[in-house]
Amino acid sequence: MLLARNDACWCGSEKKYKKCHMEFDKNLAQYKKEGYDIPGHHLILNEQDIVGLRESSKITKAILDQVADLIKPGITTNEINDFVHEYTLDHGGIPATLDYHGFPKSCCTSINEVICHGIPEDRALIEGDIINVDITTIFNGYFSDASRMYLVGEVSDNAKKIVETAKECLKVGMDQVKPYGSVSDIGLAIQAYANSKGYSVVRDFGGHGIGKNFHEDPHVSHFDTGTMGMIMVPGMVFTIEPMINEGTFKLEILEDEWTAVTKDGKLSAQWEHTIVVTEDGYEVLV
Ligand code: MF3
Ligand code: CO
Ligand code: CO
């Protein structure tokens, strides 16, 4: 799409291109020349979109807050799923994972050696488990995606440590987010931190652009892929969701075709936020 100086800007502001995103596009073209990926216009959301995402995020956050009160020995992951499902519908939302490429439930519940995409079932939580609950809500067409770890009763020191370190990995990843930085810096920082604590970083799954779709560009790697990565610009929305393992980063997918487990059966932990790049950094949506 080649716009003339006096055409209406592509962003929907109704300003002339030359008074709006013309400099911005020139600037990005320069990054592209240098070898970076640059975001397509559809990845740059406007203020109205961000308002929609904040509303969606409110539901996701409320669910994650309330799941904290449900987690105790004896509750099944199906019961957690039922709560998530009903709360979402009651608040006018749709659970994005339900029927997503055949995923059968309204959230993911990943216990102990499960890395991600665990399917809620009739297994009851037992004292000492650690569990990730991953919620994605669609509200008015806007997707918000976040997950947290929960401790079931008293857990081992090892379990506590990997849960805390995974949370810190998300934080050091977010510290890299700023306009005109590269998404690849996120993975570099996470990998360095995780390795310094003796953990490995899962390579087969990453964060993702999100907003009007569940999974969008960019792919947000949590380790060093050796690529220059995509330039971050204000209005880009994506998740960071590092999965870190006690032992090997290698994984296996169970016969259900979803559940990803560590190859060595050791613990894994993950936290996820959806964030938007702002003029001076980022805002956590949820
Ligand atoms: N919420 C997950 C993510 O963070 C995706 C789950 S997809 C599912 O991207 F199909 F497994 F539910
Ligand atoms: Co996600
Ligand atoms: Co998620």
d(CA 259, CA 116): 6
d(CA 78, CA 105): 9
User: How far does the centroid of ligand 3 lie from the alpha carbon of residue 146, in Å?
Assistant: 5
User: How far does the centroid of ligand 1 lie from the alpha carbon of residue 198, in Å?
Assistant: 27
Regarding the beta carbon of 243 and ligand 1, being less than 6 Å apart is answered: no
Regarding the beta carbon of 134 and ligand 1, being less than 6 Å apart is answered: yes
User: How far does the centroid of ligand 3 lie from the alpha carbon of residue 272, in Å?
Assistant: 6
Confidence tier at 93 by pLDDT (50, 70, 90): very high
Percent with pLDDT over 70 in the chain: 100
Regarding the beta carbon of 180 and ligand 1, being less than 6 Å apart is answered: no
> What angle is formed at CA 93 by the lines to CA 169 and CA 97, rounded to 5 degrees?
55
Please give the DSSP secondary-structure letter assigned to residue 61. H
Whether pTM > 0.85 for this model: the answer is yes
Confidence tier at 2 by pLDDT (50, 70, 90): confident
What is the residue-averaged pLDDT of the chain? 98
The number of the ligand 1 atom at minimal distance from the alpha carbon of 258 is: 11
Top mutation candidate among 56, 64, 85, 100 for ligand 1, by most atoms within 8 Å of CB: 100
Confidence tier at 89 by pLDDT (50, 70, 90): very high
Confidence tier at 231 by pLDDT (50, 70, 90): very high
- pLDDT at residue 1 in the model: 65
What are the boundaries of each domain within the chain? 36-284
d(CA 19, CA 31): 21
Confidence tier at 172 by pLDDT (50, 70, 90): very high
DSSP track, 78-134? HHHHHHHHHHHHHTT-EETTTTGGG--SSSEEEETTEEE-PPP-SPBP-TT-EEEEE
- pLDDT at residue 12 in the model: 84
Regarding the beta carbon of 117 and ligand 1, being less than 6 Å apart is answered: yes
Q: Per-residue pLDDT tens for 135-151?
A: 999 999 999 999 999 99
Q: Kindly give, in sequence order, each residue whose CB lies less than 8 Å from that of residue 140, ignoring residues fewer than 6 positions away.
A: 52, 55, 56
In the predicted structure, residue 182 carries a pLDDT above the cut 70? yes
In the predicted structure, residue 50 carries a pLDDT above the cut 90? yes
Q: Residue type at 220? A: V
Q: Whose CA is nearest to atom 7 of ligand 1?
A: 97
* Architecture, CATH, for domain 36-284: Alpha-Beta Complex (3.90)
Confidence tier at 13 by pLDDT (50, 70, 90): confident
